[in-house]
Amino acid sequence: MTNEFKTVFEYYLNPEREILFGTEVRRAMTEFVGVPPPMPPAALPYFADWFLFDFLFAEGEPPVRRFPKANPQNLSVGELAPFVELAEHNRFDFFAVAALTNERMIFTSIRDGSRYEVVRGDMRTAEGEVVVCRIGRAKGAWEVMDLD
């Protein structure tokens, strides 16, 4: 999982920023789970993905696109580039695991046949399996997006 994914998630859900984003975060939790917070802990990894990539803030953008535009950490253009790349290059899909090495996996989209070379990380899977996940690209490398 990219550091950018964690950075954006932690930025918006940090209790110190509750005054800035609390209303939107509570609205997101209610939309996602169907009841007001607190959210069941088991839902958090699924919520993280949905919140960052699919939930729209009041102005109509998801956090993953909003963060690099707002640049709340005053990052340089070079430091901000991976956040922009992740916002523009991510995909939630069903992927067939076409090949594995110790460092890489080849994912093939079940829907359209697109192929992605993905950093293996700690993901446990086998060639021929189908995985359902989001992948994102930052710093030129595709990775599975999750909180682990």
DSSP code string of 94-112: EEEEEEE-SSEEEEEETTT
Contact predicate 148/1, CB 8 Å: yes
Cα distances (angstroms) measured from residue 74 to each of 21, 77, 80, 140: 18, 9, 9, 22
Task: Check whether 3 has a pLDDT greater than 90.
Answer: no
* Residue 1 pLDDT greater than 80, yes or no: no
Rounded distance between C-alpha atoms, residue 90 and residue 87, angstroms: 7
12-49 pLDDT, tens digit each: 999 999 999 999 999 999 999 998 888 888 998 899 99
> Which amino acid is it at 80?
L
- Would the pLDDT of 104 be above 70? yes
The pLDDT confidence band at residue 147, using thresholds 50, 70 and 90, is: low
